[in-house]
Structure 1
Amino acid sequence: MAKITRMGSNQILSNSVEYHNFVFLAGITADDLSQDVSGQTRQVLAKIDAALEANGTDKSRLLNAQIWLKDIRDRDAMNKLWVEWLGDEGRPARACVEANMADPRHLVEIMVNACK
């Protein structure tokens, strides 16, 4: 039976799960919720980089991304940073939608899956 590796687990979720060289990250949000959508997006992308590295992969190996914005009108500001961060190495399949957030101060949440 293949091994499933969970990191950063609590009673509700794991921050990441690895199975058969696929890495699934939980939705990632900013820590400093006083920032605007650009500031929060920068934080989230840095946290994704760190989480992928902790799992032995990087953003060039992304398979898909799901992005939730509190206000879809922030899509252009978020996309500007997304495109800069992503570069030309590996554009994932992606969805971006407006959503009510668990904490109304959260302006963006991003969840990605990658392979090793």
Structure 2
Amino acid sequence: MSEIIRIDSNARMSQVVITGGIAYLAGQVGAEGGTVTEQTQAILGKIDVLLEKAGTDKTKLITAQIWCADMSTDFADMNAVWDAWVAEGCAPARWTGEAKLATTGYKVEIIVTAAV
């Protein structure tokens, strides 16, 4: 059985769980009320920090799941930030959808996995 490592845990969840050579990150959100661009930049900054804590980085992304509160208004702005952040030649398998997020102040949530 593979070892399971949990990073930045509390009673409800861990921000990262590593097992079998894969780092699974919890969904990340930016500050409520910011623009889609600001929230996406903040989220990707959090992901960079969490990947570093897990001993990996964005060049080893496997999957990305992105939720936008409103695809018709948020998708293009989120993509502009995402496209500038993703390492060239290292784009993960990705899916994006529209969802009602935890609060109306959140516009984007991103969940990634990465090889360690």
TM-score (norm 1): 0.95
Flag as ranges the 4+ runs of structure 1 deviating above 4 A. none
Unaligned runs of 5+ in 1: none
Task: Name the residue aligned to 2:99.
Answer: 99
* Distance in 1 separating the partners of 2:97 and 2:42: 19
* Distance in 1 separating the partners of 2:109 and 2:33: 15
Task: Determine if contact 2:33/2:106 at 8 Å carries over to the other structure.
Answer: no
- Listed as ranges, the matches of 1:47-62 within 5 Å are 47-62=46-61
**Residue 106 of structure 1, CA deviation:** 0.5
Task: Name the residue aligned to 1:85.
Answer: 85
**Residue 11 of structure 1, CA deviation:** 2.3
Which SS does the other structure have where 2:14 is aligned? coil
- Listed as ranges, the matches of 1:1-116 within 5 Å are 1-30=1-30, 32-73=31-72, 74-116=74-116
Percent identity between matched residues is 39
Root mean square deviation, CA, Å = 1.0
* Distance in 1 separating the partners of 2:104 and 2:38: 16
**Residue 84 of structure 1, CA deviation:** 0.3
For residue 59 of structure 1, what is the amino acid of its counterpart?
K
Which SS does the other structure have where 2:28 is aligned? coil
Count of equivalent residues: 115
**Residue 34 of structure 1, CA deviation:** 2.6
* Distance in 1 separating the partners of 2:38 and 2:53: 23
TM-score (norm 2): 0.95
* Distance in 2 separating the partners of 1:57 and 1:89: 16
